[in-house]
Amino acid sequence: MRASHRLIAGLWAGALVAAPSVFADAGSDTAEELRSLRRSVEALQKTLETQQRLIEQQQAKIEALEGKIQTSPTPVGMPPSVTTPSPMALPGQLGAALPEIGLLADIVATSSQDGADADGNDRIAAREVELIVSGYVDPYSRLDATFAFSDFEAADVEEAYLTHWGIPGGLKGRFGRFFPKIGKAAAIHRDQLWTVDEPIVVRKYFGAEGYFRSGADLTRVFGGPAGWVLEPSVGLLEGGVGEGATTFGSSRRQPTLYSHLKTFKDLSDAANVEVGLSHLIGSRDSDGRFEVNVLGVDATYLNALTPTTKLKLQGEFYLQHRDEAYAIHADTGATTQFDRHPWGAYLQADYRFAPRWSVGGRADHVRLLDTAAPRHADQGLSAFLTFYQSEWARWRLQYRHEERANAKTDDAVFLQGTVAIGAHKHQLQ
């Protein structure tokens, strides 16, 4: 309500509240007219308040839409607007703007049947705390860096890369340390996963925290047939893999080449599908030869069933071709046989049955390199329940049952709390 309306309504109300005592002797007819007039003014005041609330609601919607337009991401392949950085930047010096800074905490409580004193077992741990610093360098490039801290691991530079638009041919390039575009689960941060832990195939083949390496890659987006959108990528990465992974050897000097093709299409206003093909070629040792080929296929289906419910389905499959057939221990002379074509896959589903609640499950199966293990494969089943406190805070409860290649089983329960403050590249949705 405008200030003038409030003042007029207040004066009327005050005068009419006092009126019965002043004119008490003027007769009952006059008093009744005053009471009727007071009721009319009160009704008018309520009408004005209702209209003002509607106006404020509409204004909030307008401001929200304007904010989305102003903060909407720059189309792929196009340089960002020079107005994107903070207004504190000096004219012509976008790099002088204050960077975007965010902090994300991923805290996990774990209760496991496994008797090993592994990281995070049977304790509450700050599994990962990410410090995110990013900003536009100039109209054609952006710097993004993520520093990871943990209470059971050393601090690490998880990401630090420069993204450059405007490369001839409509290409977008990255240079530095980043997550290559390999599949789905291996190419994202832990807080973006659908589950508390990574799928087993990601842990065994690429690393316990996903697959991030130093290197350079190029990406281009263009329209394909029948409404499909195509996004091919190629890159050169340092050798090696993440913690506990077995796909490539430990030498970083032998490079890994990767390529990826993502294609997606809107099936309707509420549903879309995405399919990806990945290929990596690298070395298992330091001899400079490319002995390992990895082929990956991934698919994701999203359907907004109603305005408040959503179904998500996702799966990945990886097949390796390895030149090695066996290894001989240098000291003991023992021979270890290897599977030349190990493979692994997972399927998972997530059903958002309420605006702030979802439930889902995941099935894993991964064949290991070493054929000497009794079962020769790790497999597991997981069920999880997620509560979205807000777009920046999320809670997840997960149960996981694993049957491992060493003939052991493990049952574990996780409680995860993930909270983000400041600027962050993605919401916890």
CA distances from 377 to 21, 326, 395 (A): 91, 18, 31
pLDDT digits (tens, 9 = 90+) for 278-291: 999 998 877 778 88
Once rounded to an integer, what is the mean pLDDT over residues 366-383? 84
pLDDT digits (tens, 9 = 90+) for 148-183: 998 878 888 999 999 999 899 989 999 999 999 999
Q: Worst-scoring range by mean pLDDT, 54-63, 88-97, 371-380?
A: 88-97
pLDDT at 12 over 50: no
For the chain, report the end-to-end CA distance as a whole number of angstroms.
37
Supply the pLDDT for residue 277. 97
pLDDT digits (tens, 9 = 90+) for 47-65: 666 666 667 666 666 666 6
Place of tokens 């774990």: 110
Confidence of residue 244 (pLDDT cuts 50, 70, 90): confident
Tokens linked to 203: 């842990």
Once rounded to an integer, what is the mean pLDDT over residues 370-384? 83
Tokens linked to 327: 């290894």
- Taking each helix axis from N to C end, the angle separating 3-22 and 28-71, rounded to the nearest 10 degrees, works out to 160
pLDDT at 29 over 60: no
The mean predicted confidence, pLDDT, of the chain is 81
Tell me which of 212 and 56 has the higher pLDDT. 212
Q: What is the assigned CATH class of domain 99-422?
A: mainly beta
What is the largest distance, in Å, between two alpha-carbon atoms of the chain?
A: 119
pLDDT digits (tens, 9 = 90+) for 73-88: 444 444 444 444 444 4
pLDDT at 188 over 50: yes
How big is the CA angle at 184 (ends 129 and 223), to the nearest 5 degrees? 125
CA distances from 199 to 148, 190, 424 (A): 21, 11, 24
Alpha-carbon torsion 348, 206, 120, 367, what sign?
positive
Tell me the domain boundaries of the chain: 3-71, 99-422
Q: Enter the pTM of the model.
A: 0.75
Percent of the chain predicted with pLDDT > 90 = 51
Contacts of 275 (CB under 8 A, 6+ apart): 262, 263, 264, 297, 298, 299
Supply the pLDDT for residue 9. 47
Let me know: does 147 contact 159? Beta carbons within 8 Å.
no
| Nearest one of 228, 218, 136, 154 to 181, comparing CA atoms | 218
Q: Worst-scoring range by mean pLDDT, 48-52, 141-145, 323-327?
A: 48-52
Place of tokens 């007039």: 37
Supply the pLDDT for residue 276. 97
Confidence of residue 391 (pLDDT cuts 50, 70, 90): confident
Once rounded to an integer, what is the mean pLDDT over residues 63-76? 49
Supply the pLDDT for residue 27. 47
Percent of the chain predicted with pLDDT > 70 = 72
